[in-house]
Structure 1
Amino acid sequence: MSSDITLIVNPTAGRGRGAHAVRPAADALRAAGHAVRTLLGADPADALRRAREAVADGTGALVAVGGDGMVSLALQAVAGTGTPLGVIAAGTGNDFARSQGLPVRDPAAAARLTAALLRDGAARAADLGRVTTPAGPRWYGTVLASGFDSRVNDRGNRMRLPAGRFRYDLAILAELAAFRPVPYRLVLDGRAVETDATLVAVGNGTSYGGGMRICAGARTDDGLLDVTVVGDVTRATLLKVFPRVYRGTHLGHPAVTTYRARSVTLDAPATTGYADGEPLGPLPLRVDCDPGALMLLAPPQTRAKAPR
């Protein structure tokens, strides 16, 4: 494997933390003997083009410096290629890094771990969600959101303050005033389910929105997607249930139903899908688990304790 490492950077991630993370990350990788190249795209499309070129040219690893949005972009370049992905988490939510046991907002520590895993040849295979879109496949690492949670995501992305999970807490309150459950049609490994739902989340990973463990039992090594359906509930019930996502205890509520499937199709009127916090477009959308599509520079995944 090449000792050349490519950093792909979002300098605006985490209100500027991405830019500050580059030097300590690059210094730690160089100290481990790697030649480091840094990519800064003019826009997301240009950054993705450059990342794909680096992968095609045989870079030893692609390392995303930023938040979940930058990880999402990097996934499009490395999925199915065998090129390892490293993550220097410097964003606002950092759900992908947290779910994979990676350091958050400590770029030197994250880079040292990346270098050690490269040295030991210890990249591990991880599943990805693969969404079929008119523009081609899109891979994601955390959660596909639709319904109330995608509206919260949309509003949270437009808000400048506050930072972190509190931004999404405020977005929840703002969206509660107008939202109504919508009729969904789900197809889970060929089995149709029709239900009125407040939201449907399809998890490759466990969380979104800075630690909301909406699919708390999801794993990225089981070849399955975890589907969480929050049914037709009142605003008062939703207000009580939704904060429980930070511990994953919402899964025990009578209004919440969970499924596991290799393939999921979601359809609902006037509903947009988001994955890794990035918009996918309107439903219907088909999602498939892509087992082992990612070679990830991260510690071995441990089995999480069941939420209480």
Structure 2
Amino acid sequence: MRQFTAVVNPTAGSTLVTAVATWLREAGATLETEYSRSLTHARELALQAAGRGRVVLAVGGDGMAGGIGGALSGTGALFGLVPAGRGNDFARALELPTEPDRLARLLLDGEPRPVDTIEVTSAAHDRTVVLGSVYAGVDALANRYANRARLLRGAASYYVGTLRAVTTWRPTRYRVTVDGREHAYTGYTVVAANSGYYGSARHIAPDARVDDGLLDIVMIHDAPRLLFFSLMRELETGGHVRRPQVHVVQGREVHIEADRPVPYGADGEVEAALPLTARVLPGALQVLH
């Protein structure tokens, strides 16, 4: 029987968490619960638990998943997700069940699946490892606004944040180098995606796979604001990739620069400014699936 340590974001939704914990304990599993004070504290708790041979559960949203999963990347520790946050995009990419009994059964009996992680380095933020995506541009600004929208949750906070970000955005000149090949353009953003989803179920990179050893680099070029809003709506289905303003390439490493200090984010939490380098770490994390 597996032994679990749940590292919990205190702001996470409690209904799923309580139900999953009940199912695990009734099955005879040992479950410790640790409440994090910050993302740094969550990483420390996860590494301590992994060092004792326990399965580490990230309980929260994409920030918690990315922070703990990144900390465990390369350690061989078993990692599980209890998606109880605002976006839950990495759990969505893994197609994890949302019913407490099915999720608990997966955590008890599921086989480890090696998935890729993303190593991000920049002068502004040193080195960090995340799970889902790194994005530099109007979406990073929108995420910042969404995180500060205390009265809104889920897609509503991202919608309001996006509206505010787009209406104040000025076109930026990007230089994106993917595996040595340079792409220069003026536009809104560049996304290095391991997971196909970001921003609360927006299907930014429909062909991205979490275990293919590649990043999908999505570059959104300049467009009139009204057209850009249409493109943003198409993110729900992934149809935006058919637009001529969207260019997608795959690679193992990407270096992103811009003509001004453009903000970037990663898994909804890391906030810094370009330039940055992101590279895939193939199969670096063992996820219960």
Output the TM-score relative to the length of structure 1. Answer: 0.89
Contact residue 136 and residue 189 of structure 2 kept, 8 A: yes
CA distance in 2, matches of 1:141, 1:224: 13
Question: What's the counterpart of residue 11 of structure 1?
Answer: 10
CA distance in 2, matches of 1:133, 1:193: 19
Does structure 1 residue 148 correspond to structure 2 residue 138? yes
CA distance in 1, matches of 2:10, 2:2: 24
SS for the counterpart of 1:101 is coil
Amino acid at match of 1:150: A
Match 2:85 to one of 87, 91, 94: 91
CA distance in 1, matches of 2:214, 2:41: 32
Contact residue 174 and residue 185 of structure 2 kept, 8 A: yes
Amino acid at match of 2:193: G
Shift of 1:163: 2.2
Does structure 1 residue 297 correspond to structure 2 residue 281? no
Question: What's the counterpart of residue 168 of structure 2?
Answer: 178
Question: What's the counterpart of residue 71 of structure 2?
Answer: 77
Deviation per CA, 1:256-275, whole angstroms, max 9, x where unpaired?
11110100011112211111
- Provide the identity percentage: 34
Question: What's the counterpart of residue 108 of structure 2?
Answer: 115
- Within 5 Å, give how 1:261-300 maps onto structure 2: 261-268=251-258, 269-298=260-289
Match 2:24 to one of 25, 29, 34: 29
CA distance in 2, matches of 1:42, 1:169: 28
Q: Structure 1 residues 45, 140: closer, same or farther in 2, change over 3 A?
A: closer
CA distance in 1, matches of 2:18, 2:156: 29
CA distance in 2, matches of 1:71, 1:48: 10
CA distance in 2, matches of 1:55, 1:136: 24
Question: What's the counterpart of residue 113 of structure 2?
Answer: 124
Question: What's the counterpart of residue 213 of structure 1?
Answer: 203
Amino acid at match of 1:279: V
Query: Which deviates the most, 141-150 or 169-178?
Result: 169-178
- Number of paired residues? 287
Contact residue 70 and residue 117 of structure 2 kept, 8 A: no
> How much is the aligned-residue C-alpha RMSD, in angstroms?
1.6
Q: Structure 1 residues 196, 22: closer, same or farther in 2, change over 3 A?
A: same
SS for the counterpart of 2:168 is coil
Does structure 1 residue 244 correspond to structure 2 residue 234? yes
Question: What's the counterpart of residue 226 of structure 1?
Answer: 216
Contact residue 88 and residue 111 of structure 1 kept, 8 A: no
SS for the counterpart of 1:177 is helix
CA distance in 2, matches of 1:133, 1:254: 30
CA distance in 2, matches of 1:172, 1:280: 16
CA distance in 1, matches of 2:16, 2:229: 36
Deviation per CA, 1:88-114, whole angstroms, max 9, x where unpaired?
11111110111101023x444322221
Query: Which deviates the most, 239-248 or 69-78?
Result: 69-78
Does structure 1 residue 44 correspond to structure 2 residue 39? yes
Question: What's the counterpart of residue 160 of structure 1?
Answer: 150
Question: What's the counterpart of residue 305 of structure 1?
Answer: none
Where structure 2 has 5 or more consecutive residues not aligned to the other structure, the ranges are none
Amino acid at match of 1:111: A
Amino acid at match of 2:113: R
Amino acid at match of 1:283: L
Shift of 1:136: 4.5
Contact residue 39 and residue 51 of structure 1 kept, 8 A: no
Contact residue 67 and residue 130 of structure 2 kept, 8 A: no
Deviation per CA, 1:49-81, whole angstroms, max 9, x where unpaired?
12111112221x111111111111211331111
CA distance in 2, matches of 1:150, 1:44: 18
